[in-house]
Chain A
Amino acid sequence: KNEVEQSPQNLTAQEGEFITINCSYSVGISALHWLQQHPGGGIVSLFMLSSGKKKHGRLIATINIQEKHSSLHITASHPRDSAVYICAVYGNNRLAFGKGNQVVVIP
């Protein structure tokens, strides 16, 4: 079993819809990252979380340390949000990555 599991693997939404993607992990961590990877490959760090909730624009990230679970929400989704969203957890002095959630937003 992977240390970091993301779901759903693939998600297609209509423009304007509210999107939620999930990340579960099995190890003790000190921080969790949500990353965005566009088709060209470059990775952008969206959030670093150790507790609670963070908001940036239309993106909201939450984490429940007790349940070892994090969610990334996209409000009023737009085609430019189409990307792979990667969850990465930092623990035991290393970063472990999930396989990503492929999100496609259709105009």
Chain B
Amino acid sequence: NAGVTQTPKFQVLKTGQSMTLQCAQDMNHEYMSWYRQDPGMGLRLIHYSVGAGITDQGEVPNGYNVSRSTTEDFPLRLLSAAPSQTSVYFCASTFRETQYFGPGTRLLVL
């Protein structure tokens, strides 16, 4: 099993550009979530999904969209990137309360 995979590893965007952060898991977990991690702020929940076709907002959802068309994939879309979205983004899947994290995507918005 590859576990949770994320692409790209690193991305530089200009303000106003859009992009999609990819997340996939091969463990057949129903629950998936997206976090951002900033220095001094810890991990903050952006969006989560309890299964295909169902998504909900977390603590910091503004500026981000998600969809869940399959159990395996949970992409995160930045519609119009802003410097405040410079962060490290982690995707996770959950099984029996334990979260399995991907390696992260480091995003820099100029």
Q: Do A and B bind each other?
A: no
B-side interface residues toward A, CB under 8 Å? none
A-side interface residues toward B, CB under 8 Å? none
